[in-house]
Amino acid sequence: MSEVIDRLLLAMNAHDPEGMAALFHENYHSEQPAHPGRTFTGRGQMHANWAAMFAGIPDFRTESIRSVDDGNTTWTEWSWTGNRTDGQPFQARGVTLFEVNDGLITSGRLYMEDVEAEAVGIEQAVENLSGRRPDPAGS
């Protein structure tokens, strides 16, 4: 299965949505559990999404940090970088879980997020999540 991910990485770095689409089943199902409204089905939507990404980020590059096969699922940690056509930098990191059957990616769960433009410390992050700032003194 890692061969499919290797070919996907090459197609992404070549800005080749057709080459990418050839690796996906026609009924590919994608979900982003942290963003449920982004769920979709179909290789055509995947192709359209990536064509827009490559048009909007003409110097898009990806790197596979590590990848592990577990049965018919491949877990891959990614780093995506580039610059958008509006001049804004683009950087995302995260993990994808792709199910691969008969050499095609049939479904994916994506946990990709934009990298913070401005660093937020752990105390602020906890407060943003819980509404309470942690007390480093433990009281």
Hey, where are the domains in the chain?
2-130
With b meaning 16 or more CB within 10 Å and e meaning fewer, what string describes 91-126? eebbbbbbbbeeebbbbbbbbeeeeeeeeeeeeeee
Tokens standing for residue 110: 């994506």
Q: Per residue in 55-101, pLDDT tens?
A: 999 999 999 999 999 999 999 999 999 999 999 999 999 999 999 99
Q: Per residue in 36-51, pLDDT tens?
A: 999 999 999 999 999 9
CATH fold for domain 2-130: Nuclear Transport Factor 2; Chain: A, (3.10.450)
Looking at residue 139, its pLDDT comes to 59
**Band of pLDDT at residue 128, cut at 50, 70 and 90:** confident
18: number of Cβ within 10 Å: 10
Spatial contact of 135 and 123, defined as CB atoms under 8 Å apart: no
